Amino acid sequence: MSLKNNLNLFAIGLHSFGGLSILKSLLTRKYNNIFLDYRLKKKKLDITSDEIDYLRSYSLKRLILEKKISNQKGVVIYGNGLPPFFKSKSYVYCIFQNANIFRDFYEIKYLKWFFSLDSLRYFYFQIFKKNVDCWIVFSPLSEKIIKSKVPSYIPVKIYNIFNTIKFSSGTSENKIYDFIYPASALSHKNHKLILEALINLSKKNIFPKIFLTLKESEKQKLNINALVKAYNLKIHCEYLEDQSKFQDNYKKSKTLLYVSKNETLALPILEAYNYGLIIIAPKTYYSSQFIKPDFTYMQSDVNSLTSSMIEALDQKHSTKKKFPKLENFSDFLREI
């Protein structure tokens, strides 16, 4: 593509956990201009670019720069899941990853969805989705969802992110935690279900140690200190911005407890697979689209989850898993 001599990346919103992993995979290319989330300003990243700007998602400066880029011929990659505000003279790739904007994708009451940011993102998506020339997804589930939401003439490609994300690996006999759940406290991440299951276990005189990647404000919101005191729960909460330190906690954990109501990629499941952890996940398509978890439970059923946790506590090692061959996956970064 002759336009590739002017390659630009908009990645505002990608700053932590899976989003940061996605960003690092995109940074394997050299760009003329890169627009990053302001929360990454002090973070060390391997970046090759002529110019870098750090922006807030909702700011006038972002609109001005986006308009400037839209008037240039070239290629633009939008990494935060939403289409550009302006119709561009460039060829526009947009990476779709946030299926929460579609109410039909997961169980949520209409009013709760309507008064959330997801509904605003949904209306924005509907208005500006035709400003995209090609949608990029990371999984078969994402492909299925986005194809049902955009015009059929707009191509959708599955990007083989696994070729660019550098998974760490290794195990340790020094297991400090019985369970780990790396997720923010967004409502669909379903932390309340874990807390209910831990209370169930405490009533059976079972007190597993669990590591949660929650900030102090999220910990307070979930009332964790009061629950720990009332039920003698063994919960350690710590938010680690340093990815290497965060990854070390996989080595210190025996089982990944993944309870999110809905995901398109579920990157922690793949990370846990690389570290040889036992995996518990809900009986949903997203949790088994790449590998089969050791234990599955009925979605949002606390008794089912409690039973799976007891089984995992009794199991010494993860069952052998095989990562499938990825068919129909492309490497669009090399194609542009």
- Domain of 159: which CATH number? 3.40.50.11820
CATH code at position 239:
3.40.50.2000
Residue 172 maps to a domain: no
Instruction: Report how far residue 66's alpha carbon sits from residue 320's, in angstroms, rounded to the nearest whole number.
Output: 47
Residue 149 maps to a domain: yes
pLDDT at 1: 42
Same domain, 207 and 133: no
Residue 328 maps to a domain: no
Same domain, 59 and 190: no
Residue 127 maps to a domain: yes
Same domain, 124 and 269: no
Same domain, 152 and 284: no
DSSP state of 327: T
Mean pLDDT, rounded, of the chain: 87
Boundary of a domain, candidates 104, 132, 166: 166
Residue 321 maps to a domain: no
Same domain, 299 and 201: yes
pLDDT of 183 above 50: yes
More confident residue, 216 or 110: 216
pLDDT at 258: 96
Same domain, 126 and 233: no
Q: Which domain holds residue 124?
A: 2-166
pLDDT of 2 above 50: no
Which alpha helices (H) appear in the chain, and where do they start and end? 17-26, 60-70, 110-114, 117-128, 140-147, 191-202, 216-221, 224-231, 243-251, 267-274, 302-314, 332-335
pLDDT at 265: 87
Residue 223 maps to a domain: yes
pLDDT at 271: 87
Q: What is the pLDDT of residues 58-73, one digit of tens each?
A: 889 999 999 999 999 9
Q: What is the pLDDT of residues 80-100, one digit of tens each?
A: 889 999 999 999 999 998 888
Same domain, 125 and 194: no
Residue 16 maps to a domain: yes
Q: Work out the average pLDDT over 221-225.
A: 95
Q: For residues 256 and 151, is the Cβ–Cβ distance under 8 A?
A: no
Say how many domains are in the chain: 2
Which secondary-structure segment (H or E) carries 280?
A: strand 278-282
Q: What is the pLDDT of residues 238-292, one digit of tens each?
A: 987 776 777 888 989 999 999 998 888 888 998 898 888 999 999 998 898 888 9
pLDDT at 147: 94
Same domain, 151 and 16: yes
Same domain, 23 and 96: yes
Pick from 67-71, 104-108, 169-173: least confident: 169-173
Q: Work out the average pLDDT over 314-333.
A: 74
More confident residue, 225 or 47: 225
pLDDT at 81: 86
Same domain, 152 and 24: yes
pTM tops 0.75: yes
Residue 186 maps to a domain: yes
